[in-house]
Structure 1
Amino acid sequence: MNSAEFTTFDELAQSEMRRVAIISSLGTLIEWYDFFIFGTMSSTTASLFYKTGNPYGDLIAWLGAFAVGFMFRPFGAFLFGYIGDKVGRKSTFLITLSMMGASTFLVGCLPTYDTIGVTAGFLLILLRIIQGLSVGGEYGGAAAFICENCPQDQRGFYTSFLQMTAKLGISLSLLAIIVFKLSLGDTAWLQYGWRFPFLVSIFLVGLSIYVRFNLKESPMFMEAKRQGGVVGNPLVEAICLPYNLYYMFVALAAVMGQGITFQTANFYALTFLQSTIKVPQMTSYIIMLIALLGTIPFQILFGWMSDKVGRKPMILTGVALSAFFLYPLFYGVYACRPFEKNDPKQPFRESYDPVLICFYLWILNVFGAAAYAPMAAFLVELFPTGIRYTCVSIPYHIGNGIFGGLVPVVAVSISTATRNVFGGLFYPIGVCSFGFFTTLLFAPETLGRDIRKIKKGSAARLSGVDDRIGYTELQRRSGFVSAS
């Protein structure tokens, strides 16, 4: 074998890495589409499944069902994190993807309240639980899989494609709604058209399973398995060993700040547009879609920047800017609403300003992208291979799932109870601030860590050794590249 062939991250390995990143991210994109289509459809479907006698009551009930999926994400993290660290990354996220596709498809098949009464709402919650379990097992596996297949000095860049899938998933769900609603018209959309965005999921998931099936298992996991590095009970080791537990709490704090920002900038913002300032549904979908698509290039940029300046500065900057500007940006959005003719305190304005609204939401999403882009690399670089799937999944889905996922229902409930349109922002601003200061004081900088050398139960040491040599050797042993 030519020694130069496998001592650098050569063309073949780079080509394989791009393939791994794209295919892994594609599956996660479909998972996010399935998970988030539930939230983006809230204003259309709330009154179809819940009849409280009050439009806000219907909306809160639907957002409560939406939140149930987030609440069950940590349970999926426990379950599939364990399986992923015992059996492997690839097999586990094939299972989670299949579960997500089936449950989303079945949402599109459900009879509504008018047909089966309150049972419709209960069945909806059951399927939402399956969605939560599924997405809880997806992210940690995809993050570990990509990081374990890429060189040390490009983890932020490659995992930024994975991070990008969340915004793409929301964008795809918005696009599906726009296309089907415009094609069918308002009447047909409310009668049966709302089902199509859920039903098409089965085809998207089928495509993703097909392309993921051809991926090989993570070479780093296979090497750990060969050397006896797969632990007997990853969940017990993750929770019971002080070092692992400490860094899971550190990771949780970082994710809380980021997750709150993400959910507020997207789902609460959409609810705010439609329910508070009464922007027409279609217009609000288009505004959000443009704001999200305009953010995606920044995900890649910020991921690349984290490979240069570090994970921690990027996360702290994004969370701090979000916490500081949440209120001013939402105030700006609210100020763009049409004014009432009989309000003597302000000049009459007959319509809202969609361009300015879009700009404010784009700014908020850019701030969130700075925190979100390096998060996968940061989490993976904290934990050893044998328990990485578990340790990445649990804090991510508690922070992003529970604390972040509760934003729409908590914020709408607070605003309704206080009769203050901005009252709901106290929750995300408070959690964001907590996440910032905890991360600032306790989180380590993980840039430069050789994740192959993180030992179980002991603090990972920073290493200046380039792990690309190890990467290509692991690729060779696992069959990605062959010795010659």
Structure 2
Amino acid sequence: MSKKDSPSYRKVAIAACFGTFLEWYDFLTFATLAVVFAPLFFPSSDPNTALLASLATFGVGMVVRPMGAALFGSMGDRIGRKPVFMITIALMGFATVCVGFLPTYAQAGIWAPILLVSLRLLQGLSAGGEIGGSAVYLTEHAGNDYRGFKTSFLQLMGPLGILFSTLQIAFLRGYLSPEEFQSWGWRVPFWISIILLLIAFKARMALEETPVFLELSKTQQKPASPLLNNFRDPHTRKRMFLLFFCISAGGAVLFFCVQVYTAIFLKTSVKLAPELVDQLSIYATLTLFPLTIFAGWLSDKIGRKPVVVSGLLLGSIFILPAFHLLKTVGMQYLLNPSNGLGFILIAMLLSGLSLALALVVGPQTAMLAELFPAKTRNSAATLPHNLAAGWIGGLLPFIVTWLNQRWQSDSAGLWYPTIFLATAAIVAILYLPETKKVSLLD
């Protein structure tokens, strides 16, 4: 990218990233409030059952993401990347704002969880078109030089969405009484989406179509059924599987272990105060930012494959001992809260988990586009990516919690992500191609 092109790319990157930030903020605020939603929408005499129901509703939004990916991914290959962006941001914003006005179970009975699940389905469809499609859009604007570094910033939008949501909730918990927060304070993050939606929509109106798609429109006939063409082509089909299993699923497992399940674990299993867990979550997210950008930069230097494989291996080795230590240190901290060493040790453990995540997701944005030919890139990248994030990552908190309850252990369920990451690392070592020098016009 020349100096002349830099301001143009920065404008595109900021607008694309802000829209994706809003998608993640809307989508993950639900996860941050899962413990709060449990008694409000799924009242039960057993708190564990209510929590499982709340986590399952979070998972429903993830499960339908592949449907949104199939629909909007194909649209992106046929009508362009930009129009799809406008549709997905509007759909996500509408669904999220509506969550802020939902009646609770005490007010509307069974209709409360039904409406909540319905809006969660709309969120999932929108996220399926946005997350993955935005990676293709940004990478096609990035050019051929330093793609890993320039596109790694998009991966910060998920953690930034969680950070913004967590800061809001921490402020609200500190400003409001527990009764006020439980009554109406939890709605505020959803109401704020109205303002963010207007900003994101205006920013996206100014976006331009990608140069790759414009060139494709001039020289080639756009495929009528891009998704079907992907499955018919053995080469593309193989790469879709590798993207699904090694890159996207590996990143999703680590993301939900580090950014979602750790907070749930510290609140429910270790019994740390929600305010303290929010502080630790903020620290872990801030640590993830420079690590992700570093991983993207490193993939431009030594290649995408070795960086991704290192993250998968580190995650498979570190997850189980990290959560064991989180509980041990957390319990000791509860006995002696004045000892700041416990807080520091927990923060260091979260940093180690964040490093594994960063190594996988740092090069991920560039690889989503680099693995596939231009004419069917959007559909080929978005479906396996959202399938992995939805079915593997999105259901991970529910599966891990269920396995823990099934075996009456705080860590039995963590064997699931451990084995998955180890298997993904082996497959990546054997079959994942190196893509850092691939031309995006091919």
Normalising by structure 2, we get a TM-score of 0.97
Query: Conserved in 1, the CA contact under 8 Å of 2:256 and 2:396?
Result: yes
Query: Conserved in 1, the CA contact under 8 Å of 2:57 and 2:120?
Result: yes
Whole-angstrom CA distance in 2 between matches of 1:176 and 1:319: 32
Q: Deviations over 1:87-128 (max 9, x none)?
A: 111110111011111101111110001011122111111111
Once the two structures are TM-superposed, the CA of residue 62 in structure 1 deviates from its matched residue by 0.2
Once the two structures are TM-superposed, the CA of residue 155 in structure 1 deviates from its matched residue by 1.0
Q: Deviations over 1:224-244 (max 9, x none)?
A: 011124212111111221111
The correspondence for 1:169, drawn from 161, 167, 170, is 161
Whole-angstrom CA distance in 1 between matches of 2:158 and 2:335: 36
The correspondence for 1:327, drawn from 316, 320, 326, is 320
Code of the aligned partner of 1:402: W
Name 1:463's counterpart in structure 2: none
Query: Conserved in 1, the CA contact under 8 Å of 2:67 and 2:125?
Result: yes
Give the root-mean-square deviation of aligned CA atoms: 1.4
Whole-angstrom CA distance in 2 between matches of 1:409 and 1:327: 17
Code of the aligned partner of 2:352: I
Once the two structures are TM-superposed, the CA of residue 79 in structure 1 deviates from its matched residue by 0.5
Query: Conserved in 1, the CA contact under 8 Å of 2:330 and 2:346?
Result: no
The correspondence for 2:140, drawn from 115, 138, 148, is 148
Query: Conserved in 2, the CA contact under 8 Å of 1:147 and 1:155?
Result: yes
Name 2:289's counterpart in structure 1: 296
Name 1:14's counterpart in structure 2: 6
The correspondence for 2:358, drawn from 361, 369, 376, is 369
* Pairs within 5 Å for 1:301-312: 301-312=294-305
Q: Deviations over 1:21-64 (max 9, x none)?
A: 12111110110000000000111221100012111111110000
Unaligned runs of 5+ in 2: none
The correspondence for 1:80, drawn from 45, 68, 72, is 72
Code of the aligned partner of 1:349: L
Q: Deviations over 1:191-232 (max 9, x none)?
A: 111100111112111101101110111111011011124212
Name 1:127's counterpart in structure 2: 119
Name 1:431's counterpart in structure 2: 420
Whole-angstrom CA distance in 1 between matches of 2:131 and 2:331: 41
Code of the aligned partner of 1:208: A
Once the two structures are TM-superposed, the CA of residue 339 in structure 1 deviates from its matched residue by 5.5
Code of the aligned partner of 2:335: R
The correspondence for 1:157, drawn from 121, 138, 149, is 149
Once the two structures are TM-superposed, the CA of residue 267 in structure 1 deviates from its matched residue by 1.1
Query: Conserved in 2, the CA contact under 8 Å of 1:253 and 1:434?
Result: no
Name 1:43's counterpart in structure 2: 35
Name 2:266's counterpart in structure 1: 273
Say which SS state the counterpart of residue 415 (structure 1) adopts.
Answer: helix
Unaligned runs of 5+ in 1: 1-8, 341-347, 454-484
* Pairs within 5 Å for 1:398-409: 398-409=387-398
Give percent identity, aligned residues only.
Answer: 34
Query: Conserved in 1, the CA contact under 8 Å of 2:73 and 2:382?
Result: yes
Say which SS state the counterpart of residue 153 (structure 1) adopts.
Answer: coil
Name 1:236's counterpart in structure 2: 228
Whole-angstrom CA distance in 2 between matches of 1:325 and 1:141: 31
* Pairs within 5 Å for 1:59-138: 59-138=51-130
Query: Conserved in 1, the CA contact under 8 Å of 2:65 and 2:124?
Result: yes
Whole-angstrom CA distance in 2 between matches of 1:355 and 1:191: 34
Name 2:335's counterpart in structure 1: 349
Larger % of helix: which?
2
Whole-angstrom CA distance in 2 between matches of 1:384 and 1:122: 41
Query: Conserved in 1, the CA contact under 8 Å of 2:69 and 2:129?
Result: yes
Code of the aligned partner of 2:423: F
Code of the aligned partner of 1:430: I
Whole-angstrom CA distance in 1 between matches of 2:49 and 2:367: 40
Say which SS state the counterpart of residue 152 (structure 1) adopts.
Answer: coil
Name 1:416's counterpart in structure 2: 405
Between stretches 252-261 and 34-43, larger displacement belongs to 252-261
Whole-angstrom CA distance in 1 between matches of 2:244 and 2:226: 18
Query: Conserved in 1, the CA contact under 8 Å of 2:212 and 2:440?
Result: no
* Pairs within 5 Å for 1:375-390: 375-390=364-379
Query: Conserved in 1, the CA contact under 8 Å of 2:77 and 2:377?
Result: yes
Query: Conserved in 2, the CA contact under 8 Å of 1:46 and 1:62?
Result: yes
Once the two structures are TM-superposed, the CA of residue 250 in structure 1 deviates from its matched residue by 1.1
Whole-angstrom CA distance in 2 between matches of 1:96 and 1:270: 28
Query: Conserved in 2, the CA contact under 8 Å of 1:257 and 1:433?
Result: no
Once the two structures are TM-superposed, the CA of residue 436 in structure 1 deviates from its matched residue by 1.0
Whole-angstrom CA distance in 1 between matches of 2:312 and 2:59: 22
Provide closer, same or farther for how the CA distance between residues 171 and 299 of structure 1 changes in structure 2, counting only shifts above 3 A: same
